[in-house]
Amino acid sequence: MTDGIAKDRLEKLQALRSAGQDPFPPRVPRGQPIASVLSDFAQRTGQTVTLAGRLGVIRDFGKLRFAHLEDRSGSIQVGFQRDKLAAFWPDRKRIEGNDLVSITGELGTTQKGEPTLWATEVTLASKALRAAPEKWHGLTDTEQRYRMRYVDLFANAEVRQSFAMRSRIVREVRAYFDSLDYLEVETPILQPIFGGASARPFITHHNTLDMQLYLRIAPELYLKRLLVGGMERVYEIGRVFRNEGISTRHNPEVTMLESYEAWADYRDIMARVEGLFAHLCQRVLDGKTKVTFREKEFDLQPPFQKEKYLDLFAQQNPGTDWFDHQSVLRRAKELHLKTDGIEPAKLANDVFEATVEDTLQGPIFVYDYPVAISPLAKRVPEDPRITERFELFVCGMELGNAFSELNDPIDQEQRFLEQMQHKDDETPGEVDFDYVTALEYGMPPAGGLGIGIDRLCMLLSGSTSIRDVVLFPLLRREVAVPVEPHDVPVAPPDAPK
RNA sequence: GGGGGCGUAGCUCAGCUGGUAGAGCAGCGGCCUUUUAAGCCGUAGGUCGCAGGUUCGAUCCCUGCCGCCCUCACCA
């Protein structure tokens, strides 16, 4: 806060105070959204209105000044004329670009027809002590944009747009499940046993209980307890935390949708997913079904393509048997995959991911996954090695995962115990026996679904990086720079004590 | 963690073969009542990410470190 611009602005702030004006008044005339006067501007010419927002660069003509005023709905030109602002005119330079203001005036046009609010009353709403980024390029430095998202947002309208879209997506996901009579619920984020997915957790501690807790990696096991409890249709949209690497598709905390529906199976859930995408295209993309993502076009119009996991595996790895460890090992080495200490099923799936995932342009449902990599899914009746599970892929990116939920407590317990045999740091430290107990009370057959909301937002908004759909992505801490305190009185000199 | 790229004024960026830095915008002073990336005249503003090294001399070359981006690995 030591640069020259800040000094100039601080001086203006003090000058305002000395003149008895509050640079941060508790309230100002608020008026109406700017868009509301622009939509039928022709009819409004001559009307007096009040608009409030952030001032852009001021174009100064001496006795006439122009600037744009921007609020959440849009922006409009404001004209300041000395003739109409006699009282304000001497103070005009204390209000400058980037300040927040409320302006009352008459709607009209310029000689070139630009809709303009000709100011008759100007009220400073909040003094900006820092200048806005350059008007033409905005803030482009990626690091600055993430660290100072507040600047990114007001400087770059398209960033506001894309987060507005994220908000609409979440709202419409809710609307979709609400319309199907699902209940939205909230389950614990702090969990004594982490489960429901395969990921390394964040570990924390509760002081009073002196108990180690994990930030959840998935809400799954709690939501299915609700099925046992008779809630039949539930969903949760909430944060999950995975202590993994950070990349364009991975943030340590992401927003997950999980839904569970009793008396449904994975075929029904496929239809739900297709219905959800149709709904989102309708309500978020205004009926458009085509999106551009990573320079390719994808049509989200259901029905989606459907292929069996093992068929895709066989196509890309002819001669390799997913269930034969020796043949998988051979193929994995051919692909230069890490094979040491990798459990056979995991390795076979690594081969799948290495050879198949990039080919999945989609939208495509990959279905019938091996049981060894699907510990919570129900087996298909014809083959105990396979489960009723599918994943949704678009552009090689996994968007969702769903299955007919395993409700056989004995099978579930055995699979948990099996997991304990070849435990890694992504496996829970202990079996969630309470979950098994819940199943023993009887869980209806059900279909469950998980969709990564962040990736869904990436797809629908065409964002290449997850950081462009997360308001405050995690970054390393900056080296702390001691801040010099403002040496400025906070009240005018003659204020009562 | 590997590979590649980047870091220069508040913002966006130049800066040649090594000779201690420049523009536009923003700021400040001035002119201008119809501009809209306004214009014109003047002016101020720098730990060239940080720390070493080489050199008579480093924004530039070398090493290490910090941060960001891309990519690979990792990652339901």
Quote the CA–CA distance of A202 and A191 in Å, as a whole number. 11
For position A481, what pLDDT does the model report? 54
Residue A112 CB lies within 7 Å of the nucleic strand B: yes
d(CA A440, CA A378): 15
pLDDT for position A497: 46
Output the distance from A77 CA to B15 C1' rounded to whole Å. Answer: 38
Rounded to an integer, what distance in angstroms lies between the CA atom of residue A228 and that of residue A262?
9
Nucleotide nearest to A3 (CA to C1'): B10
Main-chain phi, psi angles of A343, to 5 degrees: -70, 140
Nucleotide closest in space to A242 (CA vs C1') = B75
Residues 300-319 of A with CB under 7 A from strand B: none
Q: What is the pLDDT of residue A170?
A: 96
For domain A4-132, give the CATH number.
Answer: 2.40.50.140
A363 cis-preceded (ω within 30 degrees of 0): yes
Looking at residue A4, its pLDDT comes to 62
A62 touches strand B (CB under 7 A): yes
Residues in CB range of A225: below 8 A, 6 or more apart: A435, A438
pLDDT of residue A494: 62
Distance CA(A17)–CA(A11), nearest Å, equals: 10
The phi, psi pair for A122, rounded to 5°, reads: -125, 125
Which of A 442-481 have CB under 7 A of nucleic chain B? Answer: 450, 464-465, 467, 473, 475-476, 478-479
Q: What's the complex ipTM?
A: 0.89
A195 vs A431: CA distance, rounded Å = 9
Residues of chain A with CATH 2.40.50.140: 4-132
pLDDT by residue for chain A (497 residues), tens digit each? 445 667 788 888 988 888 888 999 999 999 999 999 999 999 999 999 999 999 999 999 989 999 999 999 999 999 999 988 888 888 888 899 999 999 999 999 999 999 999 999 999 999 999 989 988 888 999 989 999 999 999 999 999 999 999 999 999 999 999 999 999 999 999 999 888 888 889 999 999 999 999 999 999 999 999 999 999 999 999 999 998 888 898 999 999 999 999 999 999 999 999 999 999 999 999 999 999 888 888 999 999 999 999 999 998 888 888 998 888 888 888 887 777 777 888 889 988 988 888 888 879 999 999 999 999 999 999 999 999 999 999 988 899 999 999 999 999 999 999 888 877 777 777 889 999 999 999 999 999 999 999 999 999 998 989 999 999 998 888 765 555 667 777 766 565 54
pLDDT score for A1: 43
- The whole-model pTM stands at 0.90
Span CA (A392) to C1' (B48), Å: 49
Q: Quote the pLDDT of residue A302.
A: 92
Q: Is A34 exposed, middle or buried (0-12, 13-18, 19+ CB in 10 A)?
A: buried
Alpha carbon separation from A58 to A68, A79, A116, A380 (Å, rounded): 8, 10, 14, 69
Range(s) within chain A of domains with CATH label 3.30.930.10: 155-304+362-468
Give the C-alpha separation, A299 to A392, whole Å: 14
| A155-304+362-468 fold | BirA Bifunctional Protein; domain 2 (3.30.930)
Can you tell me the distance from the alpha carbon of A48 to that of A477, in angstroms, rounded to the nearest whole number?
49
